[in-house]
Structure 1
Amino acid sequence: MTRTSTVRAASTALAAALLLTFGLTACTGQDTGTKPTATRSATPSAEAYEAPSAAQVALLPQAQYNAVIGGLLPYYESTIPKTADESYTISADAPLYGDDRTKPVARLAEKDFLGDPTVVVPVQFSGDWAMVMTPARQALPSATNGAAAAQSAAWIRRDLLTKKTSLEDHVVIAVGAQTVSIVGADGKTVKEFPAGVGAGGTPTPTGVIGYIQARYLDPAQDQTVHEINLTTLHSAAADEPYGGEDGGLIGVHYESTARGAVSHGCVRLDGDAVDAINKLPLGTIVQITA
Structure 2
Amino acid sequence: MRTRTLWATIGVTAAAVAVTGAVAVAVPMLGGGPAPAAAGPTRSASASAVPSVPRVSPAALAALPEAQYSAVIGGLMPFDRTVTADTVFQLRADAPLFGAAREEPVARFAAADFLRQPTTVVGLRREGAWELVLTPARQQLPSASGGAGAAAQTSAWVPVASLREVSTPTSRIVISTKDQSVSIVSASGTVTERFDAGVGTADTPTPTGVTGYLEQRYVDPAQGTGDHPIQLTSLHSSAADEPYGGHDGGLIGLHWNATTSGAVSHGCVRLSSEAVAAVNALPLGTLVTVE
Asked if TM exceeds 0.5, the reply is yes
Aligned pair count? 263
Q: Is the 8 Å Cα contact of residues 87 and 165 (structure 1) preserved in structure 2?
A: yes
Amino acid at match of 2:253: G
1:25 aligned residue: 31
Distance 1:95 1:261, change over 3 A: same
Which of 49, 52, 57 is residue 61 of structure 2 equivalent to? 57
Which of 152, 168, 171 is residue 170 of structure 2 equivalent to? 168
Greater shift, 124-133 or 46-55, is seen at 46-55
2:78 aligned residue: 74
2:150 aligned residue: 148
Unpaired segments ≥5 residues, structure 1: 28-40
CA distance in structure 2 between the aligned counterparts of 1:159 and 1:98, rounded to whole angstroms: 17
- Map 1:121-270 to 2 at 5 A: 121-144=122-145, 145-270=147-272
Unpaired segments ≥5 residues, structure 2: 1-16, 34-44
Question: Which structure carries more helix by proportion?
Answer: 1
The Cα RMSD (Å) is: 1.9
Shift of 1:89: 0.3
Q: Which runs of 4+ in 1 moved over 6 A?
A: 41-47
Shift of 1:246: 0.6
After superposition, the C-alpha distances for 1:11-67 in whole angstroms (9 at most, x for unaligned) are xx324xx44xxx32279xxxxxxxxxxxxx987987653321222101000100010
CA distance in structure 1 between the aligned counterparts of 2:132 and 2:50, rounded to whole angstroms: 18
CA distance in structure 1 between the aligned counterparts of 2:135 and 2:179, rounded to whole angstroms: 28
Q: Which has the higher contact order (CA 8 A, sep 6+)?
A: 1
Greater shift, 216-225 or 178-187, is seen at 216-225
SS in 2 for 1:24: coil
Shift of 1:223: 2.7
CA distance in structure 2 between the aligned counterparts of 1:253 and 1:157, rounded to whole angstroms: 34
Distance 1:106 1:139, change over 3 A: same
Indicate the percent of aligned positions where both proteins have the same amino acid.
49
2:92 aligned residue: 91
Shift of 1:227: 0.3
SS in 2 for 1:25: coil
Residue 4, structure 1, aligned to residue 15, structure 2: no
Amino acid at match of 1:24: L
SS in 2 for 1:164: strand
Amino acid at match of 2:60: Q
Distance 1:50 1:44, change over 3 A: farther
Shift of 1:146: 4.1
After superposition, the C-alpha distances for 1:99-137 in whole angstroms (9 at most, x for unaligned) are 111100000111111111110011221111011000000
Amino acid at match of 2:231: N
SS in 1 for 2:229: strand
Distance 1:146 1:184, change over 3 A: same
